[in-house]
C-alpha cells in the first residue's frame, strides 16, 4: 500500500476521532488481508507531525495515543470559542488533585492529614466523574481505605504522555501554583493547546454546565469546594454559638 494513502488515512482518522488514537488502533483500521506495512503507521505519524511545523495545529502523543491539538501560540484566539464555558477550580480542588497526582496511590485520610482539613466527598466524586482519578486498590490497614490515583484521561486532558511529565513538585512554591503550570481550564490542555475537532467541542460542551452564570444555582461540586475551604471557619462559628 502506498505510504501517501496511509498518511491520508491516519490523518483522517485522527481528525475524525473524538479521542486520542493509539498505534494499535490505527493499525486496526486496515483489513487483515491488506494490513499496513510494518512501520508505516509510525512513519505516517512522524511525517504528519513534521508537516504541522507552519500550521496552527500540532500532532502530539499523549497517554492514550496520538491527537491533533491547537498550538499554544494561536490558542488565545481560538479559545474565544469557549470563553463562556470556562470553569475556575478552587484551591481545595487543586490541592486534592495535586496530592493525588504527586503522591499516588494515596488515601483520602492521607490527603486530609496533609491538608489539615476534611476533604468533602463531593470533591472526590467530581474528580471521579471527570475520570481524572480512580480507585486502584485498598491500603492494607484497618478499614481498608481506598487508594486513589490519576487516570490516562487526566494525562490526556493536560497534554501529558506520562506522570513523569508533570512539573517537578520542587519547582512549585505552593500547591496553588499547579494551576498556571497545568492550565486548569476546561477549554485548553496542558501547554495551552486544546484538542481539535469533535474532541474540543465535546469537552467544551461537557464543561459548560459547570460554570455558574448570574442567577444560576451553584453545582454540587462548587458547593463542595466552598465547604472544604471554609470547614474550619464554619466549625469555629458553631463553637461560638
Q: State the chain's maximal CA–CA distance in angstroms.
A: 79
Residue 25 has pLDDT above 90, yes or no: yes
Q: Helices (DSSP H) in the chain: which residue ranges?
A: 3-16, 23-27, 40-50, 75-78, 91-103, 108-115, 121-129, 152-157, 178-182, 198-208, 220-229, 231-240
- What are 90-127's pLDDT values in tens digits? 788 888 999 999 999 999 999 999 989 999 899 999 89
DSSP letters for 82-131? GGGG--PPPHHHHHHHHHHHHH-SEEHHHHHHHHTSPPPHHHHHHHHHTT
CATH of 3-77, one of 3.40.50.1000, 1.25.40.20, 1.10.1740.10, 1.10.10.10: 1.10.10.10
If we measure between CA atoms, which residue out of 168, 169, 160, 149 comes closest to residue 101? 149
Domain ranges of the chain: 3-77, 83-211+220-225
pLDDT of residue 85 exceeding 90: no
Average pLDDT over the chain, rounded to whole?
Answer: 76
The pLDDT confidence band at residue 196, using thresholds 50, 70 and 90, is low
Q: Are 169 and 102 in contact (CB under 8 A)?
A: yes
211-238 pLDDT, tens digit each: 333 333 334 444 444 445 444 444 444 4
Q: What is the pLDDT of residue 91?
A: 84
Per-residue model confidence as pLDDT tens digits over 146-184: 999 999 999 988 888 888 888 876 665 554 444 434 444
pLDDT score of 132? 93
**Domain 83-211+220-225, CATH 3.20.10.10 — does that match?**
no
Beta-carbon contacts of 240 under 8 Å, excluding residues fewer than 6 positions away, are none
Q: Which of 167, 149, 170, 152 is nearest to 104 (CA)?
A: 149
Q: What is the pLDDT of residue 231?
A: 45
Q: Does the pLDDT value for residue 66 go beyond 90? A: yes
Domains 3-77 and 83-211+220-225 share a fold: yes
**Would you state the cell numbers that stand for residue 132, as one nine-digit string?**
481524572
Amino acid at each position: 500500500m502506498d505510504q501517501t494513502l496511509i498518511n491520508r488515512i491516519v490523518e483522517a482518522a485522527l481528525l475524525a476521532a473524538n479521542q486520542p488514537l493509539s498505534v494499535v488502533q490505527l493499525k486496526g483500521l486496515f483489513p487483515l488481508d491488506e494490513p499496513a506495512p510494518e512501520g508505516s503507521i509510525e512513519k505516517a505519524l512522524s511525517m504528519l507531525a513534521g508537516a504541522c511545523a507552519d500550521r496552527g495545529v500540532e500532532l502530539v502523543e499523549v497517554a492514550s495515543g496520538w491527537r491533533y491539538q491547537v498550538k499554544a501560540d494561536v490558542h488565545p484566539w481560538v479559545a474565544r470559542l469557549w470563553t463562556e464555558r470556562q470553569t475556575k477550580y478552587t484551591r481545595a480542588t487543586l490541592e486534592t488533585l495535586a496530592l493525588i497526582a504527586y503522591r499516588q496511590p494515596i488515601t483520602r485520610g492521607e490527603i486530609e492529614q496533609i491538608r489539615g482539613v476534611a476533604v468533602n466527598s463531593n470533591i472526590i466524586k467530581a474528580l471521579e466523574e471527570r475520570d481524572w482519578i480512580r480507585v486502584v486498590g485498598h491500603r492494607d490497614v484497618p478499614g481498608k481505605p481506598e487508594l486513589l490515583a490519576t487516570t490516562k484521561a487526566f494525562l490526556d486532558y493536560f497534554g501529558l504522555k506520562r506522570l513523569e511529565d508533570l512539573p517537578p513538585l520542587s519547582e512549585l512554591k505552593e500547591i496553588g501554583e499547579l494551576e498556571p503550570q497545568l492550565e486548569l481550564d476546561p477549554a485548553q490542555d496542558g501547554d495551552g493547546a486544546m484538542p481539535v475537532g469533535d474532541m474540543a467541542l465535546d469537552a467544551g460542551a461537557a464543561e459548560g454546565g459547570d460554570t455558574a452564570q448570574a442567577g444560576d444555582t451553584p453545582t454540587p461540586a462548587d458547593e463542595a469546594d466552598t465547604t472544604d475551604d471554609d470547614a474550619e471557619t464554619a466549625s469555629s462559628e458553631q463553637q461560638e454559638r
